Structure 1
Amino acid sequence: MALTREEREQFLSEPHIAALAVDAGEEGRAPLTVPIWYQYAPGGDVWVMTGRDSRKATLIGRAGRFSLMVDRITPTVRYVSVEGPVIETVPATREQLVELAARYLPAEKIETYVDFAWKAQGENVVIRMRPQHWLSSDLGEL
C-alpha cells in the first residue's frame, strides 16, 4: 500500500541510511549506487554531503539530479524513494557535518567523528535536491 504524503515525508525524515543513485554517464555502465547519510525535514529539500572531487559529486554535477532510496524491514517492510533536480551545491561547513553526524551517531561519538572527518576527508560539498518524484510503500509484516 502506498504511503500518504505525510507518512512518506515522516519516514524520509528518520535517520535511515540511503542508497544514492546517479547516472554513471558511461555507455555500458549501470548507475552509480552507494550508501550515504542524508538530511531531510518534511516539506523541505534533501541534502547529502560528499567529497568535492568525489565520483558522486562529479556525476551528480553532470546529471543535475539524483535519487535516494531508504527502507526498513521491521516492524513492517517499508520504503521511500525520492528523485529530483539538484538545486544547489555549496562548500560544506563544520556545522553541517555536526548536524549530519548527530542524526546517525550517539551524542558521545559526534565530536570525535567530526574532528576526524573534518581533517581526514578533505573538502566536502553539500548537494541539495528538490524532491520531485516519490515512490513509497508499506508491504506490511512478512
Structure 2
Amino acid sequence: MALTREEREEFLAEPHIAALAVDAGPGRAPLTVPIWYQYAPGGDIWVMTGRDSRKNELIQAAGRFSLMVDRLEPTIRYVSVEGPVTDTVPATVEQLREISARYLPAEKVDEYVDFAWKSHGEQVIVHLRPERWVSSDLGTV
C-alpha cells in the first residue's frame, strides 16, 4: 500500500542510511552508493560528499539524483525520492556535526567530526528538491 504524503515524509525524516543513485553515463549502470542524508518534512534533502569525488562529479553532470531508504521491521517499508539538484555549496563543520549526530551515538560525534573534518578533504553539501516519490508499506511477512 502506498504511503500518504505525511507518512512518506515522516519516514524519510528518520535516520535511515540511503542508497544514492545517479546516472553514470553512457554504457554504465547508475552509480549506487550508501550515504547519510538530512531531511525535514516539506523541505529539501541534503547530502555531504567530497568536492572532487566521482559521486559529486556525476551528480553535477546529471543535475539530479535519487535516494532510496527502507526498513524491514516492524513492517517492510520503503521510500524513494528523485529530483533536481537545487544548490551545491561548501560544507561547514556545523553541517558535518549535524549529520553525524543524526547517525552516531552522542558520545562518538565529537571524535568522528574531528577525524572527518581533518581527513576527508574538502566536502560539499548537495541539495535535492523532492520531485517524484515512490513509497510503500508492504506489511509484515
Q: Same fold (TM over 0.5)?
A: yes
Q: What's the counterpart of residue 6 of structure 1?
A: 6
Q: What's the counterpart of residue 88 of structure 2?
A: 89
Matched, 1:55 2:54: yes
Give identity over the alignment, percent.
77
Aligned ranges 1:1-142 → 2 under 5 Å: 1-25=1-25, 27-142=26-141
Question: Which ranges in structure 2 are unaligned for 5 or more consecutive residues?
Answer: none
The whole-number CA distance in structure 2 between the counterparts of 1:136 and 1:80 is 4
Aligned length: 141
Q: Helix, strand or coil: the match of 1:67?
A: strand
Q: Helix, strand or coil: the match of 1:15?
A: coil
Q: Helix, strand or coil: the match of 1:35?
A: strand
Q: How far has the Cα of 1:28 moved from its partner? A: 1.8
Q: How far has the Cα of 1:127 moved from its partner? A: 0.0
Q: How far has the Cα of 1:112 moved from its partner? A: 0.2
The TM-score normalised by the length of structure 2 is 0.99
Aligned AA for 1:30? A
The whole-number CA distance in structure 1 between the counterparts of 2:118 and 2:78 is 34
